[in-house]
Amino acid sequence: MAKKRIQHELHCIYCDRSEADGASILPAPDMEAGICIDCLETAANMLGIAETGVPNNEVANRARAKYRTVKPGAPEAAKPEPKVIPKPSEIKDFLDQYIIGQDQAKRYLSVAVYNHYKRLDQPVDPDGVEIEKSNIIMVGPTGTGKTLIARTIAKQLDVPFTIVDATVLTQAGYVGEDIESLLTRLLQAADYDVKRAERGIVFIDEIDKIARKGDNPSITRDVGGEGVQQGLLKLLEGSVVNVPPQGGRKHPEQPMIPVDTKNILFICGGAFEGIEQAIAHRLNSSFVGFSTSDGNRKIERDNLMRHVAPQDLRTFGLIPEIIGRLPILTHLLPLDRTALRRILTEPKNAITRQYEKLFAMDGVKLTFLPESLDFIVDKAIEYKLGARGLRSIVETIMMNAMFEMPTEHPDRFEVTADYCRRQLEAANFDAQAV
């Protein structure tokens, strides 16, 4: 005969133990039921947040937030309304506020992201038509905005986003991280909410570094790089993967979190240094030009990237299977002087605006004169640093000013070309940039 429960005595809604049985109960808001510590630890293990080094009360708060008790017979909380997917033109307009140039790449990614999230919200089709996922690969020199485009799209959509470096991934048995560990960061970005993580975006940087190579004498990583590509296939095509909550290498006693990658959008990016040679060879040309029946016409080296095709990626070293899982191929062109000049001042998060904001917090009005901006752009082009190099140049120029201004408290400070030149010479920037 079941034990008669004492009135108003708290009991665990999962195991039905009560305080009279010696269980410690965390009460629900209605104070009529709760969850015991043992069941709470079990829920924490299921979420992969146990043994993380965080205080026990924080673990409890996470578990209670994800496994809220519901009184039998009580109506469930209303589900939040699905977010409206921005149109491709709206996504591109948002990107234009942060990224200068690269219009073709922004258009490709706007359409791909719109179709991807429209695919996730599609109703069941009675005709059995199922829209497949289209992952993306971006090819372009360093400092052209590949990472920034992916991060900005995730910011607009408000979905979990993470950047992983393909160079640390190795095949099982070699020094490095397992392929599945790249999803660990996505789970962390989603606060270990698996359902939310399964609608996120993963940006795999340096994808060109795992291209298949003829000879690789290293014994500390996957020989040839092909094994990493084979391992990435199951993630890109969509499958249920057991992810280690703490990342790194998997071991038998480690708790795993199953994650379905079917609805995760993968965006890959890489510089693919030297792919111009494969493009030129395919076009039966050289860097100086090629002949046709219509006459001689020139193809500039900087424009070769416009003609990149999947077969060029295969020539570079990516296996055909992984190229097939990245059907959307777009390119980013090197930034010219005009684009670099605009990057310094026009975007919402422009570098000069950031420093003006920093100085304004100390009551100093900072002004970059046009001649100083031209000097910074010239240096970035001279050192071939791209947009990423603009930050390092400006940081070097402003270092002494940022050290002195909070103490001296001037009303205004103007940055001239002569001041930029003196600061770079004092910091020996020419020798550092070589």
User: Residue 350 maps to which CATH number?
Assistant: 1.10.8.60
Contact 36, 2 (CB under 8 A): no
Mean pLDDT of 359-363: 92
Has residue 80 been placed in a domain? no
Same domain, 348 and 327: no
The whole-number pLDDT of residue 157 equals: 87
Boundary residue ending a domain (331, 349, 384): 331
Torsion of CA 103, 108, 109, 115, to 10 degrees: 140
Tell me if 81 is assigned to some domain. no
Same domain, 316 and 427: no
Question: Range with the lowest mean pLDDT among 33-47, 68-82, 193-207, 389-403?
Answer: 68-82
Residues 6+ apart with CB under 8 A from 84: none
The answer to whether residues 389 and 282 belong to one domain is no
- Whether 176 is in a domain gets the answer yes
- The whole-chain average pLDDT of the chain stands at 78
The Cα–Cα gap between 212 and 208 comes to 9
> In CATH, what number is assigned to the domain containing residue 186?
3.40.50.300
Based on the domain organization, do 369 and 322 belong to the same domain? no
Q: Is pLDDT of 54 > 70?
A: no
Which percentage of the chain shows pLDDT scores above 90? 32
Residues 359 and 315 in one domain: no
Residue where a domain terminates, one of 331, 348, 382: 331
Does residue 53 carry a pLDDT above 50? Answer: no
pLDDT for the residue numbered 82: 46
Burial of 329 by CB count in 10 Å (0-12 exposed, 13-18 middle, 19+ buried)? middle
- Stretch 368-387: mean pLDDT: 89
Residues 316 and 283 in one domain: yes
Give domain status of residue 79, yes or no.
Answer: no
* 217 and 190 share one domain: yes
pLDDT in the model for residue 67? 39
Mean per-residue pLDDT for 117-125? 81
Statement: residue 136 has pLDDT above 50 = yes
Of 145, 157, 158, 207, residue with least CA distance to 182: 207
Cβ neighbourhood burial of 393 (10 Å; 0-12, 13-18, 19+) = buried
Domain of residue 299 covers 88-331
Considering only residues 47 and 136, tell me which one the structure prediction assigns the higher pLDDT. Answer: 136
Q: Are residues 45 and 96 in the same domain?
A: no
Residue 83 lies in a domain: no
Q: What is the pLDDT of residue 52?
A: 42
- Please tell me which residue, 10 or 294, carries the higher pLDDT value: 10
Answer yes or no: is 82 within a domain.
no
pLDDT at 63: 42
| 391 three-state secondary structure | helix
pLDDT at 167: 82
Domain boundary among 312, 331, 350: 331
CA atoms within a 13 Å half-sphere pointing along the CA-CB vector of 2: 5
Q: Render pLDDT for 251-289 as a digit per residue (tens, 0 to 9).
A: 566 678 899 999 999 999 998 988 988 888 888 754 444
Give the total number of structural domains in the chain: 3
Range in 41-50, 163-172, 402-411 the model is least confident about: 41-50
Kindly state whether residues 286 and 344 are assigned to the same domain. Answer: no
Look-up: residue for tokens 């996120």?
Answer: 200
- Summary count for the chain: helices (H), strands (E): 17, 13
Burial (CB count within 10 angstroms: exposed 0-12, middle 13-18, buried 19+), residue 381 = middle
Q: 299 in a domain, yes or no? A: yes
Supply the pTM of this predicted model.
0.70
For residues 229 and 386, the model is more confident at: 229
Tell me, yes or no, whether 47 and 158 share the same domain: no
Question: 174 and 308: one domain?
Answer: yes
Residue owning tokens 């999962």? 14
Question: Does one domain contain both 241 and 376?
Answer: no
